[in-house]
Amino acid sequence: MIRKICIFIALNFIILSLYSQNNNSPIPFELFFGNNRTNAQLSLNKNIKGKFNFANLTVAAADYKNTFTENEVIMMNTVNYQFHKNINIGAGLRYHYKKGFIPNISMSFTHFNPTWSFILSPCFEFLPKRDIEFVGIIEFKPKLTDKIRLYTRLQGLYNHNLTDNLHDRSYANFRLGLKINRIAFGGAANIDYYGPKKIYKDNYGVFFKYDF
């Protein structure tokens, strides 16, 4: 399990080296060490030309026994067109560790300032079945001192299988800690529900986040 995590981290740093040189947007990378498993998340947003940009979100999870059925990797790649400063429309292809490659179209509503970050993104997936998905992220980062901010994040997802009219996946992730310049750290909790029976999995621990 440790070897796979190290390989995953190395690949993320290769991506960072390729994109960070010509990209002014921060690239957040987070590691979460919980009581049941380890999670990692990397996101980037790079301007292509004009109002077009490329976005990637990669998430992975592995339990400490390296149980094959418990390992997860999801890579979301989207080309967006920004027709309003707070609204994007996009199309993309994502890789899911169980479903394979999934073509999709999406829309995102965003708002950013030093204290608040808000993202809401509905997405329609065409294959292997028709799904609709909603992702929401809210960050609250008020200033405590000249160098230190409070860092809080609520990140949620709901995915519904329209073909069979069944719950597919949902989660709620919580972060509470401190942010010093580009570094954030603190306590974390992930609450996950899988499949039509909403199989429950929780994970509590600490997180470390760095904005490249």
Supply the CATH classification number for the domain 2-211: 2.40.160.40
Is 70 exceeded by the pLDDT of residue 145?
yes
User: DSSP H helical segments within the chain, as ranges?
Assistant: 2-19
Is 60 exceeded by the pLDDT of residue 5?
no
Backbone dihedral angles phi then psi of residue 11, each to the nearest 5 degrees: -65, -40
Sign of the dihedral defined by the CA atoms of residues 195, 197, 198, 203, in that order? negative
- CA dist 183 and 29 (Å) reads 10
Mean pLDDT of 96-105: 92
pLDDT in tens, 59-82: 999 998 888 888 898 988 999 999
Which segment of 64-68, 132-136, 168-172 scores lowest on mean pLDDT? 64-68
Is 60 exceeded by the pLDDT of residue 19?
no
Residues 6+ apart with CB under 8 A from 178: 144, 148, 149, 150, 151, 184, 185, 186
- CA dist 135 and 122 (Å) reads 6
pTM of structure: 0.85
User: How does the average pLDDT of the chain come out, rounded?
Assistant: 89
